[in-house]
Amino acid sequence: MTRDPRYDILFEPVRIGPVTARNRFYQVPHCNGMGWTQPRALAALRGVKAEGGWAVVTTEEVEIHPTSDCEPFHEGRLWDDRDMPALALMADAVHRHGALAAIELMHHGASCANWGTRLAPIAPSHRPIIYYAPVQARAMDKSDIRALRQWHRDAALRAKQAGFDIVYVYCTQDLSIAQHFLERRKNDRIDEYGGSLENRVRLLRELIEDTKEAVGDRCAVAVRFGVDELMGDAGITHDGEGRDVIEMLADLPDLWDVNLSTWANDSQTSRFAKEGFQERYTAFVKQVTGKPVVGVGRFTSPDMMASQIRRGIMDFVGAARPSIADPFLPKKLEEGRIDEIRECIGCNMCVSSDYTETNLRCTQNPTSGEEWRRGWHPEIIAPRKSEGAVLIVGAGPAGLEAALSAARRGYQVHLAEAGTELGGRVTREAKLPGLSEWARVRDWRAGQIERMPNVSIYRNSPLEAAHVLEFGAWHVAIATGAVWRRDGVGRDSGFPVPGFDGPGIYTPDDIMAGRLPASGPVLIWDDDHYYMGGVLAERCRAAGLEVVLATPASIVSAWTVNTMEALPIARRLARLGIGMLTYSSLTGYRNGAAILQHGVTGAVTEHAAGAIVTVTARLPVEALYLDLAAREAEWAGAGIASVTRIGDCWSPSTIQQAVYSGHKLARELDEAPEGDVPRELPILEGMA
């Protein structure tokens, strides 16, 4: 295949100070849950992106000093010379594929508690740290500022020695000490570092100048800057001080990497922001600087990428989440394989990895975070080791991924779906408010396998154990999914809720199938704590029903704190007029009233509810597997070597986990059983 000439502009080289990027694809800094604790895994993760065609591959934020310790989160570290070898692993991995390696140096200032080092946080003025902890940062004096500049200079020199080509000065996401000096609400100094904008920008200017003087002979110096905090006059705005800062420093750095601050604003999910949403805030930057500009916006459309370059919005297509979903996005586009690109769905499961301090994970890309640990490559998979066929029952996310990956290994794959549509829960959930882009999980996989000659798809094909035995496939995977419980059993209560065995009780499956209550009020009982309760509340409200969401948690959709959606969800529900009851346990339902007990006061109240939608737990649809397990003695005679449950049929979880389960199954067919998950152990000095 050949590249579409419409996208030639994306593959032009661009000069950045003393270095040149081979194309316009730029993986901006992003966290990954690995940081300084897993350098080999991190190097493999970044190296794969360079192999996939990204011209610049950047670290996550890298702490420059023990007074910037963000434990328990796992970010990068460059405190002293001992941290250089780990980071050099990444630079080397990136260079092996001809890409530039960039490092984002930063000091957290008043954004971290230094739990590990137990040192006092530092800030421009006396302020509590931004995360909710009983810790306050002390105001820096002039000697502290001189020390900070020296720490940053030393880190830049170490970064250069470790092999990095681009060194960042970080000033965004409300996480950087340089940004804290800029922010009027956090800087009440009366010296030359406070007051006027010229004074408040002084530290940022000095850090840029120090870095250029230290490493600018070989390394480009980039600034990552948040042009708008979406706080109005209380913060930095793109048509106010954000623009003024860039005008003041316009051509001082070699590159501007611009975005929204905070991280939650920058990395909004597809439920709340569409592709390219940051253009309105960052479009001015190229008008006021002659240096290259990186812009972001969860870009998945090559047409939008090329359009923003041609219209002078940016010089580089910056991406974090799209580079995770498909590390080979640039190479596929360059080779004319646009239909093979796995598009990011904007679910922020990748973000949850950082918040939960676990290896990077992605709904679209099941190999993410496993490049070193399991040796998984996003585009390469080992060939089959037998001639046997594979039968997969169920075409949801697990079944589709298992079918695709097994077919890529060369197996003859038969995919049986009981219904008329592929996609399973993805198809149902993508029809809910704000989740339409999640259909990409189905569409990409279905689009790939429908073109593969070694995959047969059977719709309207519900199978029983006898059918599977008669089919006689070498490997059988049961991916029949799960259903939502109707009895109220969940986290809050391990027992059925009295009254849930009568009329007026609905499950998410009912709502997704179009079976909505005829009248309200509707009470959404959310003991799931992820997205489902909120989107069902929106769905019922859109049908004209009065809706209240009750949850035993302290906030609605509590787990979405990890995807940075909890506040946007609460705001949307409030705007829609949906009531929210927190710390509330649903203990019964009788005579059109929900019985709630408050988790703090213990008070029992009744709330009118013409219907209840119970969002608690799910049960695997495992009857087929259990029937086959009961007939295991017949497997060998039928030519069956294995029968395995995958996805929600094995253990109900997220769509991401279902995809991962299907991929893992396909990788392990005819392979030796895998042991424990490989892990990196610390190397103790003086020990062999």
Residue 94 and residue 63 share a domain:
yes
Q: Which of 332, 355, 378 is the last residue of a domain?
A: 355
pLDDT at position 128, please?
94
- pLDDT for 688 beyond 50: no
Residue 684 has pLDDT above 70, yes or no: no
| Three-class secondary structure assignment of 186-242 | CCCCCCCCCCCHHHHCHHHHHHHHHHHHHHCCCCEEEEEEEEECCCHHHCCCCCCHH
H helical segments located in 396-480: 397-408, 425-429, 440-449, 465-471
Q: Please, are residues 375 and 359 in contact by the beta-carbon 8 Å criterion?
A: no
Is the model more confident about 240 or about 680? 240
pLDDT in tens, 183-201: 999 999 999 999 999 999 9
Is the pLDDT score of 440 beyond 80?
Answer: yes
Q: Is residue 384 part of a domain?
A: no
198 lies in the same domain as 305: yes
CATH of residue 509: 3.50.50.60
Are residues 529 and 640 both part of a single domain? Answer: no
Domain-embedded: residue 379: no
Q: Are residues 206 and 293 in the same domain?
A: yes
Confidence category of residue 687, pLDDT binned at 50, 70, 90: very low
Average pLDDT along the chain: 96
> Burial, 533: exposed, middle or buried (Cβ in 10 Å; 0-12, 13-18, 19+)?
buried
pLDDT(673) > 90: no
pLDDT for the residue numbered 494: 94
| Residue whose entry in the numeric block shows the structure tokens 């910056």 | 318
Look at residues 297, 329, 355 and tell me which one is the last residue of a structural domain.
355
448-494 pLDDT, tens digit per residue, is: 999 999 999 999 999 999 999 999 999 999 999 999 999 999 999 99
Q: What is the mean pLDDT of residues 571-583?
A: 98
pLDDT at 288: 97
Q: CATH code at 657?
A: 3.40.50.720
Q: pTM score > 0.85 for this model? A: yes
Edge-to-edge strands, sheet with 642-645: 455-458, 413-416, 390-393, 475-478, 642-645
Q: What is the pLDDT of residue 668?
A: 96
Are both 647 and 587 inside the same structural domain?
A: no
Does residue 561 have a pLDDT over 80? Answer: yes
The answer to the question of residue 676 being in a domain is no
For residue 297, pLDDT over 90 is answered with yes
Regarding whether 577 and 511 lie in a shared domain, the answer is: yes
Mean pLDDT for the stretch of residues 74-97: 97
Give the mean pLDDT of 344-349: 98
Task: Provide the pLDDT for residue 682.
Answer: 60
Residue 336 belongs to a domain:
yes
Domain assignment present for 686: no
> Is there a contact between 621 and 480 (Cβ–Cβ < 8 Å)?
yes
Q: Is the pLDDT score of 685 beyond 60? A: no
132 pLDDT more than 80: no
Residue 682 within a domain: no
Tell me: do 202 and 247 sit in the same domain: yes
Q: Is residue 374 part of a domain?
A: no
- Residues 319, 408, single domain; the answer is no
Q: What is the 3-state secondary structure (H, E, C) of 560-577?
A: HHHHCCHHHHHHHHHHCC
Residues 253 and 328 reside in one and the same domain: yes
Residues 477, 492 within the same domain = no
Verify that 159 and 27 share a domain, yes or no: yes
- pLDDT average, residue stretch 434-453: 98
Q: What is the pLDDT of residues 607-619, one digit of tens each?
A: 999 999 999 999 9
* Residue at 370 is within a domain: no
The fraction of the chain above a pLDDT of 90, given in percent, is: 96
Q: Is the pLDDT of residue 678 over 80?
A: no
Same domain, 475 and 532: no
| Count of domains observed in the chain | 3
Q: List C-alpha distances in Å: 321 to 129, 331, 374.
A: 28, 17, 22
Write the DSSP symbol of residue 72. Answer: T
3 state SS of 550: strand
Least confident range of 403-417, 622-636, 643-657, 661-675? 661-675
Q: Name the residue range of residue 499's domain.
A: 485-617
- In which band, very low, low, confident or very high, does the pLDDT at 573 lie, cut at 50, 70 and 90? very high
Q: Mean of the pLDDT values across residues 128-149?
A: 94
At 198 the pLDDT is 98
Report the C-alpha gap between 593 and 608 in whole angstroms: 5
Which pLDDT belongs to residue 683? 54
The token duo for 483 is 């259903």
Q: Which amino acid is at 340?
A: E
Domain boundary residue, one of 585, 617, 649: 617
